Structure 1
Amino acid sequence: MSRLLILGPLAGPLGVAARMAQARGAGIAQADTVPAALAHLRGPGADLTLCHVGLDVGALLRGMAAERMACPVVACGPEEASAEAVAAVRAGARDFLPLPPDADLIAAMLEAASGLGGPEVAPVARDPAMLAVLARAAQVARADASVLITGESGTGKEVLARHIHAASRRASGPFVALNCAALPETLLESELFGHEKGAFSGAVAMRKGKFEQADGGTLLLDEVGEMDPRLQAKLLRAIQEREVDRLGGMRPVRVDVRILAATNRDLVAEVRAGRFREDLYFRLDVVRMRLPALRERVADILPLAEHFARRFADANGLPRRMLSPAARATLAAHRWPGNVRELENAVHRAVLLAEGHEIGPEAVELTPAEPSAAAAGGATGVEALVGRKVDEVERDLIIGTLSHCLGNRTRAAEILGISIRALRNKIQDYRASGLAVPAAHGYAAD
């Protein structure tokens, strides 16, 4: 369940937005002032903050930056408040939500914040390979042992983590997720462990980190293999001792948290290379669950495609349409290098592009298979790049990946292997030079 903090009065259109978010499974908290919002972010925390432009969005963002709080902020207000919207986005707001709110935009906003498409938790599974994973998940869900979830990018590791939490004895407690690859070291440390007042310049009050926010529930450490070795040592102590040391703190704070960790890296190889602590690896690897790639669970391709077709038709206010036999054959024959995430994007595009009473193969746009050097009959992929400037190749790769992801910045950054911040800086540079950059459908996540 996404945690949404609303900054502004719940009367009128903002209250409508809150009720729409609740209907999508979000937990709602509300604050009337910027100081109250900052106080909430220091304590229970949030996955997303929705701030009315009638309040000082810039002050909220400056306060969050000073206190090293990483929470996306979406400004909102009447459509005619264009000047305020522009000012909010320039100050660092992720996007602007027009009021009165649109249910589809609320859904997309929550999906971008949580990585999930609504309140559903259970993974779609028909293939024996995936059914075996879910059976193992059912076995370990009610225990408190740490679980290491491995698998390629896009296989649905966070979906499985949420499924385990929902089936656990901690289901009534919070589920808190943190992407360890998305934040620089100093910010990640504060996000994980919190800080005391005066711990650093800008720390004007005590703030709880993700461990304390997840107390009584589950903490997912996504992309844990990207964590700096110094923080790995501090994480190991927190798991071993069940207590955390806030930055600038004088005494440890007890926490009751179940740890789930996810990675697309080979952590055994990372341990051998000296990039990941062996003792931390064994603490996380009490139970290991490997999510099969989509090409290894082919019986799930069409059920997943039908599931996504229904979801995106509903989200975009379109009639539900069946996949034609030819479209189904096209989807079943593809190898899906981007796994479930690629399938989701492909079906989303198909739902938007399809005409007529069903989704035909002409609406299914897939990533072409990479030809072998022999089959190419000429230059290989690398040789074809010779003579081009590095920044031009990088630009085309980034723009192409954004198009493939329907403008979703988080997913594009994951595919490209760069941080969200680096991607946003590139996008700003491209836009400044007059280049058109794909926007996310319904919800731009710049």
Structure 2
Amino acid sequence: MSRLLILGPLAGPLGLAARMAQGRGAAIAQADTVPAALAHLRGPGADLALCHVGHDVAALLRGLAAERIACPVVACGPEEASAEAVEAVRAGARDFLPLPPDADLIAAMLEAAAGVTEREAAPVARDPAMLAVLARAAQVARAEASVLITGESGTGKEVLARHLHAASRRAARPFVALNCAALPETLLESELFGHEKGAFSGAVATRKGKFEQADGGTLLLDEIGEMDPRLQAKILRVIQEREVDRLGGGAPVRVDVRILAATNRDLLAEVRAGRFREDLYFRLDVVRLRLPPLRERPADILPLAEHFARRYADANGLPRRALSPAARASLAAHPWPGNVRELENAVHRAVLLAEGAEIGPEAIELTPAPAAPGQVALATGVEALVGRTVDDVERDLIIGTLSHCLGNRTRAAEILGISIRALRNKIQDYRASGLAVPAAHGYAD
């Protein structure tokens, strides 16, 4: 369940936005002032903050930065408030949501902030390889043991983690996810363990970290293999002692959390290389669930494609259309190096581009498969770059990747291998120079 904090009165258009979000499964909290919003984010926390431009959006963002709280902020207000919208985005707001709200924009906003919703968390599976994984997951879902979820990028590790939580005895308690690769070390430490007032410059009050926010429930540590060894040691202590030491704290805080960890790395190889603690590895690897890449579960390709076609037709207010036999054949024959995420993007595009009663092959735009090992790649791609500057090539690559991902910044950053912050900085530079940058489909950019 997504956790949404609304800064502003729950009346009129903003109240309607809250009810729409609730209808999509979000848990709503409300604050009347920036200090009250910061107080909530220090305690229960939220996956997303929706702040009306009648409040000081920049002050909220400054407070989050000063207190090392990583919560995305979306500004909102009447469509005619263009100057306030620009100011909010320049101050660091992720997006601007026009009011009165549109239900589809609300849905896209929540999905962008929190990945998948609880309603969509059940994995789609028909292939024996994936059914075997789900059978093993069902065996351990109600246990308290830590679970290590492995698999290539885009295979659906967070979806499986949410499925485990929903089937566990902790299902009524919070599910909290944290991407360990998305934050710098100092911010990640505060996000995980929280801090006491005065722990560092800007820590004006005590703040609960993700372990405390997930108390009684489940904490997913995504991309755990990217974590600094110093923080690995602190994670190990929390697992062993079931207590958290806040930054600047004098006494530990007891927590009751089930740990799920996910990684696309070979953690045992990382242990051998000295980059991951062996003792933490064995604490996390009580049960291992390996998600097979999509190429190893071919019977899931078409059921997943049909699932995404229905989802994105509904999300965009379009009629549901079946995939034509030729479109199905095209999807089934593709190797899907980007796994389920690539398939989702391809079907989303097809839903938007298709014309007629069916989704035909002309709407299916697929990324060419990479060259096989030992195969000589065509030289034309490299030759086409000769004579161009690195900045020009980088710009075209970034804008092209954003277009491929329908404007989704998180996915584009993953494909490009850069941080979301670095991507946003590039986008700001391009916009400042007058270039058009693809907007995230489904909500304002």
What TM-score do you get using the length of structure 1 for normalisation? 0.97
Question: Partner residue of 1:101?
Answer: 101
Q: Secondary structure of the equivalent of 1:51?
A: strand
Give the aligned residue type for 1:28. I
- Whether contact under 8 Å (1:153, 1:339) holds in the other structure is yes
Structure 1 stretches of 5 or more lacking a match? none
Instruction: Compute the displacement of 1:119 (Å).
Output: 2.5
> Could you tell me the percent identity over the aligned residues?
89
Question: Partner residue of 1:392?
Answer: 392
Distance 1:59 1:329 in 2: 53
Distance 1:288 1:249 in 2: 34
Instruction: Compute the displacement of 1:434 (Å).
Output: 2.7
Query: Per-residue displacement from partner, 1:353-406 (whole Å, max 9, x unpaired)?
Result: 000111000000000123459876852766765554433333232222211111
Instruction: Compute the displacement of 1:118 (Å).
Output: 6.3
Relative to 1, partners in 2 of residues 1:326 and 1:317: Cα closer, same or farther, differing over 3 Å?
same
Give the aligned residue type for 2:392. E
Relative to 1, partners in 2 of residues 1:131 and 1:377: Cα closer, same or farther, differing over 3 Å?
closer
Distance 1:378 1:314 in 2: 41
Per mean C-alpha deviation after superposition, the further-off stretch among 393-402 and 308-317 is: 393-402
Distance 2:158 2:291 in 1: 11
- Whether contact under 8 Å (2:327, 2:364) holds in the other structure is yes
Q: Secondary structure of the equivalent of 1:37?
A: helix
Distance 1:293 1:302 in 2: 15
Distance 1:270 1:353 in 2: 43
Per mean C-alpha deviation after superposition, the further-off stretch among 234-243 and 200-209 is: 234-243
Give the aligned residue type for 1:198. G
Instruction: Compute the displacement of 1:100 (Å).
Output: 0.8
Distance 2:382 2:279 in 1: 40
Distance 1:365 1:216 in 2: 44
Alignment pair present for 1:369 and 2:369: yes
Question: Partner residue of 1:191?
Answer: 191
What TM-score do you get using the length of structure 2 for normalisation? 0.97
Q: Secondary structure of the equivalent of 1:170?
A: coil
Give the aligned residue type for 1:367. T
Question: Partner residue of 1:269?
Answer: 269
Give the aligned residue type for 2:203. A
Query: Per-residue displacement from partner, 1:122-142 (whole Å, max 9, x unpaired)?
Result: 110110011001001100000
Query: Per-residue displacement from partner, 1:191-237 (whole Å, max 9, x unpaired)?
Result: 00000000001100000000000000000000111111111111111
- Whether contact under 8 Å (2:25, 2:117) holds in the other structure is no
Question: Partner residue of 1:321?
Answer: 321
Instruction: Compute the displacement of 1:274 (Å).
Output: 1.2
Give the aligned residue type for 1:160. L
Alignment pair present for 1:201 and 2:224: no
- Whether contact under 8 Å (2:149, 2:262) holds in the other structure is yes
Question: Partner residue of 1:124?
Answer: 124
Distance 1:375 1:421 in 2: 36
Relative to 1, partners in 2 of residues 1:250 and 1:421: Cα closer, same or farther, differing over 3 Å?
same
For residues 140-179 of structure 1, what are the structure 2 equivalents within 5 Å?
140-179=140-179
Instruction: Compute the displacement of 1:69 (Å).
Output: 0.5
Q: Secondary structure of the equivalent of 2:119?
A: coil
Question: Partner residue of 1:113?
Answer: 113
Question: Partner residue of 2:346?
Answer: 346
Relative to 1, partners in 2 of residues 1:414 and 1:168: Cα closer, same or farther, differing over 3 Å?
same
Question: Partner residue of 2:23?
Answer: 23
Question: Partner residue of 1:80?
Answer: 80
Q: Secondary structure of the equivalent of 2:9?
A: coil
Cα RMSD of the aligned pairs, angstroms, is 1.6
Give the aligned residue type for 2:213. Q
Question: Partner residue of 2:64?
Answer: 64
Alignment pair present for 1:410 and 2:396: no
Instruction: Compute the displacement of 1:444 (Å).
Output: 4.8
Distance 1:282 1:383 in 2: 48
Structure 2 stretches of 5 or more lacking a match? none
Task: Say how many residue pairs are matched.
Answer: 445
- Whether contact under 8 Å (2:5, 2:29) holds in the other structure is yes
- Whether contact under 8 Å (1:61, 1:93) holds in the other structure is yes
Alignment pair present for 1:2 and 2:41: no
Distance 1:259 1:375 in 2: 42
- Whether contact under 8 Å (1:305, 1:343) holds in the other structure is yes
